Chains A and B, each alone.
Chain A
């Protein structure tokens, strides 16, 4: 208690000392303050983009210069209000390694990994399947962890759950023992004969391939969970399946032979299948093991079908549509703005690159761009006129189909929609639903009902 009082007194004394010392100009360390920085240095300092040495030098100046400190306070206030920094509290440069969130995140990841590794099979059918696989290969069981005695819960846990492993369209065969075996489709030897001759080796190979393929093969589209033993799908997974099916494009149901071969190849690197077809019918066929799916090549039409299925309309229902375009590994959003002339189209990509086509989209010519633009909607009442609107009060218009000009907005807000009847007349809609109309090309705006 006495020590706490002493600490408190010392704290109070020291604080008073510092307050008085720092408040007095002559008491400030060093009387040479030096020239105050220009706004660019202040801005770079506020953005923490100065070199460490330079920042330290200016820290020394700021510690002595009340004027600069006032400017920094005002600057930070202006910056925070304008939203140019993150809305959250300021973060130290090393926040990405902040233990406060890193530790729980790491613990969660470790927990998930442990659950996945040691999770027992959920289904009796799967357990039987795993057990039958292990019984068919007793010598291999001693060599590999996954083929331990079926009575051992540890081995069951270590065996990968079979429900995850089976891609659709994969040829299956049943051994005489009744277990379902997967074979390389390129293998011409009779499956039954191979099973009789080298059951152990085949099984161990297949088990390895099973693991490899399940690592490379995702669940087919349209199914989140496919019971192999024909047991009913749990309600939660059924919902997921239904959702997947609702959005999955219509595509060939099976993979090609070539893709299956890739899944089994041990010399080539594993490649994920390019298309993942799925229907409930094929899933049940796999689970029943009654048929060998007929392989069908994935056609390019499937891709365009997928693109067509992914096209959605934005708020400007009449004239614009947004498509997801995939180029290589990247997917970007492009918004098309159609004009009455079917040959003339405008589009803007990622909200900031405006292009025009005069041959129905075969070729495109860039017309306008801005690194900070966020265009969201457009309207093209004629082949030469187009209005575009977006965030941060952005309104653009072209009246000759070539040059774009920025229109002073009726309100400093985000615009989400525009409709237009000609190059001079348009109505824009704000995020809060207000509408403004112009009939003189944007020089004057009036609120619209």
Chain B
């Protein structure tokens, strides 16, 4: 591997880096320096990092990486007060120092660090890319391309103002380096899929949030207000009650519902995503479903002053055609649905 001059690299913004990653990188000049009270925490991190000597990573360089990590975690904390120092110390103690040291050394161009990174993470990177892209001869090529493009960005083939731009500058040690690499791969893959999805032929798939699907459904809605205005109104009221009920749920319950009802994930998949057992997912879904229904019924009875029969009728409306945007009907009687 070609050796590179070991000089600090400014936060790069490459075209291949996703917009989210680029937006998250703070400018080096804005990074506050650590006060003396954090020296012990920095020392602990340095010892935990245990960077081999041949990586040529100095303690000062590593401290710079820690300062960037803290600035990312606690933006705007300048000057660093005593209270901030305590929070920063807890943040530093929780960092994956060894991975951060490796990323920092690689970003600075250490050949030994790169050799280590290649030996350690390349197999894992390709394995993850294959898992993401799928298995098969055609998918294998996509997987390799996905991994190679990431590897190139990590290495930093582009230079700006004499400094190499490396994707490693966006790693701040809050997670393991391997998981971070997987997250970058996942983000790139999903963005690519979503980009190509918009250009694919339309599919009549229920639950698809593609705007063209809404256009397909819209024409039928134009007739609803005239044919069954009461039903449309009921649905609008129901939607509002549902929105309020969902909004009052615990965020994890809401996420579980979204995975199950919006994404059609299986219980096993949801369990893996949330770190729960299938049975736990099922039990919590059932509990949340009952909770939402109870809140909706209470809202219809108390807020909208509906009788039991009206509430039943309102809920039965949901089994029919479900317009795209019901909230419009709540705002104005003359509102026309917009595509």
Contacts and interface: CB of A to CB of B under 8 A. Distances in A.
A98 to B, nearest CB: 9
B132 A37 contact: no
B174 A43 contact: yes
A395 B209 CA distance: 49
Contact of A81 (B131, B246, B254): B131
Interface string B49-89: 01010100000000000000000000000000000000000
A392 B190 contact: no
Given A60-B251, A412-B123, A84 B176 contact: yes
Interface string B122-166: 111011111110000000000000000000000000000000000
Nearest to B321: A20
Contacts of B261: 15, 18-19, 22-23
A39 B184 contact: yes
A371 interface: yes
A428 to B, nearest CB: 13
Contacts of A14: 289-290, 292-293
B304 to A, nearest CB: 16
Interface in A19-68: 19-30, 35-44, 46-49, 56-57, 59-60, 62-64, 66-67
A386 B17 CA distance: 40
A79 interface: yes
Nearest to B239: A27
B119 A392 contact: yes
A70 interface: yes
B325 A43 contact: no
Interface residues of A, number: 80
B325 A24 contact: yes
Contact of A59 (B118, B247, B255): B255
Nearest to A395: B119
B179 A63 contact: no
A29 B247 contact: yes
A10 B316 CA distance: 10
Interface string B263-279: 10100110111111110
Interface stretch (A86-94, A155-163, A208-216, A376-384): A86-94
Interface string A392-406: 111100000001111
Contact of B209 (A48, A66, A81, A408): A66
Contacts of A64: 258
B131 A82 contact: yes
Contacts of B34: none
B48 to A, nearest CB: 9
Interface residues of B, number: 94
Contact of A62 (B180, B255, B325): B255
A41 B132 contact: no
B179 A29 contact: no
Name, among A13, A40, A79, the residue most crowded by chain B CB atoms within 10 Å (CB to CB).
A40
A72 B275 contact: no
A78 interface: yes
B194 interface: yes
Interface in B100-130: 112, 115-116, 118-120, 122-124, 126-130
A73 B273 CA distance: 7
B124 A84 contact: yes
B326 interface: yes
A218 to B, nearest CB: 37
Contacts of A41: 174
Nearest to A90: B275
Contacts of A369: 50, 52
A250 to B, nearest CB: 40
A370 B120 contact: yes
A13 B312 CA distance: 10
A-B pairs, 8 with minimum CB distance: A81-B131, A59-B251, A43-B175, A39-B183, A29-B247, A78-B128, A74-B186, A23-B207
Interface of A: 10-11, 13-30, 35-44, 46-49, 56-57, 59-60, 62-64, 66-67, 69-82, 84, 89-93, 368-373, 392-395, 403-406, 408-409, 412
25 contacts: A11-B289, A13-B318, A14-B289, A14-B292, A17-B293, A17-B315, A17-B318, A21-B239, A28-B246, A29-B243, A39-B186, A59-B252, A70-B263, A73-B263, A75-B179, A80-B272, A81-B130, A82-B128, A84-B182, A89-B271, A90-B276, A368-B52, A371-B98, A392-B120, A409-B119
